[in-house]
Structure 1
Amino acid sequence: MEIVFVILALLVAVTVSGTAERILPIPLPLIQIAFGVGLALSPLPSAVLNPEIFFLLLLPPLLFLDGWRIPKAALRQDGRLILALALGLVVFTVVGIGLLIHALIPSMPVAVAFALAAVLAPTDPIAVSAIAKQAPVPQRLMHILEGESLLNDASGLVCLRFAVAAALTGSFSPTDAFATFVWLSLVGVALGVLVTLAVTRLQERILSRVGEDPGTQTLLSLLIPFAVYLVAEKVHASGILAAVSAGITMSYVENQGRALALTRMRRSAVWDTVQLAANGAIFVLLGEQLPVILERASGGALLEGGPLRLVLLAVTITAALAFLRFVWVCVSIALTLRRGRRSGLPRGPFPFGLALATSLAGVKGAVTLAGILTLPFALADGSPFPARDLAIFLAMTVILVSLLAATLVLPIVLRRIQLPPAPEAVDHERMVRAKAGEAARDAIQTLRASLSRTASDPGLYDEAAVRALQRYQRYDDGAEASGTSRGREMVQAERRLRLAGLRAERDALFDLRRRHTIPDALLARLIREVDLLETRFAEG
C-alpha cells in the first residue's frame, strides 16, 4: 500500500503545482522541486528511487512523445548543428568538465569525475520551455534544443557507462567504447523503427477487418515506447534512442491519415496528460531526494568546508558547463555562417545574443537525475563506490543552479534577441488552407454530381452542396479580405461574434442538462462539437 500512497502524493503534487504556477511568477520545475522537498519533510511515505524503474516508467513515453511531435523539417534544416551539439558537445563537455571536477576535488577518482561529467552533459528542453514562458524561446532555437536533447541523452549515458566501467575495472579501451557506441546507437534506432512499423502494420490489418476502437488505439500507442525500450535494452542497445526513433517513426505513420479523427483527438488528450504527469513527477522526485542526498553529502565529511563549499562547487561546475557550451555553440554557429556565405548569403553581425541564449538553455533535468542514480554502490572487490553520494549531490545541485540561472538570465537575453518577422508563415498557411479547401470543394462537387444523377430529387443535393461549401467559400473570402485593414477588422469581429455565440450555446446546453431535458450522451456530443469550434476560432 505504501507505493500507492507515494504515487498518489506525486500526482497530487503535480496537480497542485500546476495551479501554483498560475499564481506565482516562478517556473513550474522549481515549484515542483519545492513540492518534492515538502513531501520529503512531511510524515508521508517517501519514494525509494530505483534508477531502472525510473528510466523505464518515465523516460520512454516522454522521449517517444518528443520524437513524435518535434517538427521533422526542423531536424532536417538544422541537422548538422543538432548533431554537433548532441555528439561533439557531449564529448567536449565530458572531457573538459571531468578534468575540472578532478582538479577541484582531488579525492574524487578520475573515472568518477568523468561519470559525473557524463550525466551533466545532456540537456532538458522541457525545463527550458517552462522557464521561458515569460519570454518565449524562438521557435527555431527551441527546435534545435529539442533535437539536441533527443540525441545527447544517449551519447551522455554511453559516456557514463564507460566511465563507471573504468571505475570498476580500472581500465578503459577507446576501441571498445567506439564499437559499443555504434552498436548502442544503430541497433537502438533500428529496433525503434522496425518494432513501431511492425506493430502499426499489424494493427492496420486487424482494424481493416474488425473496425477501429479509439480507446484500444490510444492504449496501444502508450505501450509502444515501453515495448521498444525493453526490446532494445534486452539486446544491450540504447533504449533511449529506440524510444526516440519509435516516436519519429510514429509521426510518419500518423501522416498517412489512416486513424479516425476521434482517435487522434482522444489520443492527443491522453498523451498531453501523460506528459504533464511524467514531467511533473520527475521534478517532484528530484525535490524529494534532495534532503536525503544533502544529509549524506555534508554529514559524511566527504568534503572539507561543509555544505557551503559543496554549493560553491556546484556553482563553479555550472558556470564551466555554460562556458564550454558557449564556446562550442559559437564555433558551430561560425561554421554554419561560413557555409551560408559560401552559398551566397549576405554577411551579417555574429549573433552573440543567440549563442548566449543557447548556452543558458542547456538546463539539466531528468536524464541527469536518473543517470547519476545508476552509479553502483560498491566496486568489484566489495568496497564502497568512491564519492558516490558527493557525485549525486553535485549533480542534483547543478540541476537546481542551472534552473535558477536560466530563470534569472535567460528571459532577459531572449527579450534582447531581435528576430526578423516571418510573414511567409502566414502565407504558407493560407496556401495550405486554400489547397485543402480546393480539394474539399472538388470532392463535394464530384459526390454531388454522382448522387444527383440517381436521386429522385436532385435539387436536394444541390442545396446540400451549397451549404457544405459555405465553410470553404467563407475562408476564401476572408483570406482575400484579410489583406486590408478593414478586412482584418472584419475577420476579428466575426471571430469575436462566433465565440460569443458558441459560449452562449454551451451555457444553454448545460442549462438544459440542469433541467434534465437532454440526455447525457447527446449533451456530451453537442458540447464536444461546440468545444471543437470554439478551439478553432479561439486560435484564429
Structure 2
Amino acid sequence: MDSIEVVLVMLLAVVASAYIMRLLPRAIPLPLVQIALGALIAAKSSHGVDLEPDLFFLVFLPPLLFLDGWRIPKSGLLRDKGTILELALGLVIFTVVGAGFLIHWLIPAMPLPVAFALAAIISPTDPIAVSSIAANAPIPKRLMHILEGESLLNDASGLVCFRFAVAAALTGTFSLQTAALTFVWLVVAGIGAGVGVTMLVTVVQRWLTRHFGEPAGSPILVNLLLPFGAYLVAERLHASGILAAVAAGVTMSYVELSGHAHASTRIQRSAVWDTVQFALNGVMFVLLGEQLPDIYRGASISLEESGHLNPWWLVVYAFAITAGLLVLRLFWVWASLRLTIFKQTIRHLPRRKINPRLLLATTLAGARGTITLAGVLTLPLVLPDGSPFPARALTIFLACSVILISLLTASIVLPRLLAGMTFPAEPEEQQEEDLARRAAANAAIDAIEKTQIALMESEACVDPDVYPQAAARVISFYEHKLKEIDPESEHAWRKTDYAEKELRLAALDAERRTVFDLARHEQISDAISRKLVREIDLMEARYR
C-alpha cells in the first residue's frame, strides 16, 4: 500500500472512529478507538508511513496549538493565571528533573540527556484527550478551564525543554547560562513573532477588503495559513515556533472581537476549523496505532542495550514511568493547593479544605496525547557524527506507552472517582449571558428606531407607512427576548421558549422536506433549493 493510500485510509479511519464510538460504552475515549484502528491499518498494510520528523512537526502542531490559543476561555485563563502558571511552568520543570533522573535510574543505558528529553516530551498534558474523558466524568467547569490553560502553556514549555535536552544529546554539552539566555530569546521572540505576524496579516487583509472587497473563501484560507506563517517566521528567527503558534491564536481571539469579519465568513470558518481539528487530532492517534508495531520492534532491539532480554521489561518501564509521573503531579498539585490555602490564611480569607477526590481527579486528568506523540517523533535519526541517535526507538515506545496508559487510567478511574459528586452551581456564565442578551436586545431596539426614521426621511423612501409596521414586528421580537431574561418572569418564559423552539424545529423540518421534494420533482432549480435549504439550516442551527 502506497503512503498516500495509507493517509487516505487513516482519514477514513478517523471518520469511522466517530461512528464506532456510538456503538461502544461511553467510558471508552475516542483516542483509544483511533489508536486501535491505526493498529488494524498497520496489520493490513505491507509497509507503514515513513515520517519525516521536521515535516511532521510543521504539519500537525501549529494549527492545533493555534486553535487551542484561539478558543481557550480568556476569562478563566486570567482568573486562575497563578494556578495555571504553577502547573504549566513549575510542574513541567519539576517533571523534567524528577522523571529524567527516574528514567536514567531505571534504564542506565539511556544517556541522561535522552532521559531528560523523554521526561520533557511526556510532561505536557493533552486537552483533547482530557475533553474526551471529561465527557464521561462530571469534571467541574473551573477545573476544566485550569486543565485547558495548563495544556495550552505546558505544550510550549515542555517542547522548549525537549529542544534543549535534544540539543544536549546531540552536542554532548549543556550550559545553564546559555540555556537561560536561549530560553528568554525563544520565549520573547516566539511570542513577538506570533503577535506580529497575526497583526500584520490582519491589517493587510482589512486594507485589501476595504479597497477590493472580500473574495469568497479567501479570509478562511488566510486564517488556515496564519499558524504556519507564524511558526516559520519564528523558526527563521531561531525562536520558538510553538510559542509563536500559541501567541498567534491568542492574538486572533482578540482580533476577532473587533467584529470586522463577515457573518458568513465566521460561520464557514468555524466549520472548517472544527473539521481540521477533528481530522488532525484523529490522524495523530491513528498514526500512533499504525506506528506501534515498528516502535515495539525497535524498542525490543534497544532493550538489549539496557541488559535485559525479556520484552516484558518494556511493560515494567512504561508502568514505572507513568506511575512516577502521577506521583510527581500529585505532589505538585497538593503542594500548590497547600500554598493557596496558606495565602488565604494570610489574607484572612475563608479557608477551603482540600477535597481528596478532586485532588486525585486533577492528577489523573493530566492525560498525555497528540503533543507528546508529535514531539517524540521528531527525535533526530542520527547524531552529528552519523551514528544512530541513542535509544531513539525505546524513547518513542516509552512515550507512546505513557500516552496509552494515561488515557486508559483516566478513562477507567475518573468516571468512578467523580461519580455521585455534586459541585456548587456556577451562576457567573448565566449572569454574563443574560447581561449580554439584555444589552444586545436594547441596542438592537435603539438601532431599529433610528434606522426607521432615517429610512423614512431618505429620498429613496416610496411608502413611509411600511416602516412603522416593519419596525414594530422586529421590535416585538427583541421585546420577547428581553422578557425571557426578566428575573420576575424568567421561569415561565423559559418553558414557553422551550415549547416554541420545538415547534419551530418541527416547522423548519417540514419546510426543508418540502423544498427537497419540489427540487426532486424539478419544480424548482437546484440553485433555488440550495439557497432555501441553507436559510433553513442556519435557522435550525440557531435554535439547536
TM range (shorter): over 0.9
Residue in 2 that maps onto 1:151: 153
Residue in 2 that maps onto 1:348: 352
Shift of 1:358: 1.6
Shift of 1:91: 0.8
Matching of residues 151-300 of structure 1 within 5 Å: 151-300=153-302
**Among 89, 92, 96, which residue is 1:87 paired with?**
89
> Quick one: structure 1 residues 162 and 519, their matched pair in 2 at CA, closer, same or farther if it must change by over 3 Å?
same
Matching of residues 45-124 of structure 1 within 5 Å: 45-124=47-126
Shift of 1:359: 1.1
C-alpha separation between the residues in 1 aligned to 2:339 and 2:129?
A: 28
Residue in 2 that maps onto 1:323: 327
Residue in 2 that maps onto 1:533: 539
| Structure 1, unpaired ranges of 5+ | none
Amino acid at match of 2:30: L
Is the Cα contact below 8 Å between 2:66 and 2:247 reproduced in 1? yes
Shift of 1:202: 0.6
What are the Cα deviations for residues 178-218 of structure 1, in whole angstroms up to 9, with x where unaligned? Answer: 11111111100000000110011011001001112340010
Q: 329-338 or 103-112, which moves further after superposition?
A: 329-338
Is the Cα contact below 8 Å between 1:364 and 1:403 reproduced in 2? yes
Is the Cα contact below 8 Å between 1:373 and 1:392 reproduced in 2? yes
C-alpha separation between the residues in 2 aligned to 1:42 and 1:394?
A: 24
Is the Cα contact below 8 Å between 2:65 and 2:152 reproduced in 1? yes
Shift of 1:154: 2.1
C-alpha separation between the residues in 2 aligned to 1:416 and 1:319?
A: 26
Confirm or deny that 1:414 pairs with 2:418. Answer: yes
Is the Cα contact below 8 Å between 1:314 and 1:398 reproduced in 2? yes
Is the Cα contact below 8 Å between 2:103 and 2:115 reproduced in 1? yes
TM-score by length of 2: 0.95
Matching of residues 424-435 of structure 1 within 5 Å: 424-435=428-439
C-alpha separation between the residues in 2 aligned to 1:491 and 1:21?
A: 33
C-alpha separation between the residues in 2 aligned to 1:487 and 1:380?
A: 71
C-alpha separation between the residues in 1 aligned to 2:133 and 2:504?
A: 34
What are the Cα deviations for residues 119-172 of structure 1, in whole angstroms up to 9, with x where unaligned? Answer: 111111111111221224322222222221222122222222222232233322
> Quick one: structure 1 residues 172 and 495, their matched pair in 2 at CA, closer, same or farther if it must change by over 3 Å?
same
Shift of 1:345: 3.5
Q: 410-419 or 326-335, which moves further after superposition?
A: 410-419
**Among 455, 462, 473, which residue is 2:468 paired with?**
462
Is the Cα contact below 8 Å between 2:124 and 2:155 reproduced in 1? yes
C-alpha separation between the residues in 2 aligned to 1:338 and 1:289?
A: 47
Confirm or deny that 1:12 pairs with 2:3. Answer: no
**Among 476, 479, 499, which residue is 2:505 paired with?**
499
C-alpha separation between the residues in 1 aligned to 2:420 and 2:241?
A: 39
Confirm or deny that 1:520 pairs with 2:526. Answer: yes
Amino acid at match of 1:282: M
**Among 329, 333, 338, which residue is 1:334 paired with?**
338
C-alpha separation between the residues in 2 aligned to 1:12 and 1:122?
A: 28
Confirm or deny that 1:376 pairs with 2:380. Answer: yes
C-alpha separation between the residues in 2 aligned to 1:488 and 1:250?
A: 35
Confirm or deny that 1:441 pairs with 2:445. Answer: yes
What are the Cα deviations for residues 261-292 of structure 1, in whole angstroms up to 9, with x where unaligned? Answer: 00000111111110111000110111111000
What are the Cα deviations for residues 19-51 of structure 1, in whole angstroms up to 9, with x where unaligned? Answer: 111111221100110111111111354211222
TM-score by length of 1: 0.95
Shift of 1:333: 2.3
Q: 310-319 or 130-139, which moves further after superposition?
A: 130-139
Amino acid at match of 2:524: I
Residue in 1 that maps onto 2:455: 451
C-alpha separation between the residues in 2 aligned to 1:222 and 1:244?
A: 14
| Structure 2, unpaired ranges of 5+ | none
Is the Cα contact below 8 Å between 2:60 and 2:374 reproduced in 1? no
Output the aligned Cα RMSD: 1.9
Q: 333-342 or 87-96, which moves further after superposition?
A: 333-342
Q: How many residues align?
A: 538
Q: Percent identity?
A: 54
Query: Secondary structure in 2 aligned to 1:121?
Result: coil
Query: Secondary structure in 1 aligned to 2:261?
Result: coil
C-alpha separation between the residues in 2 aligned to 1:156 and 1:425?
A: 32
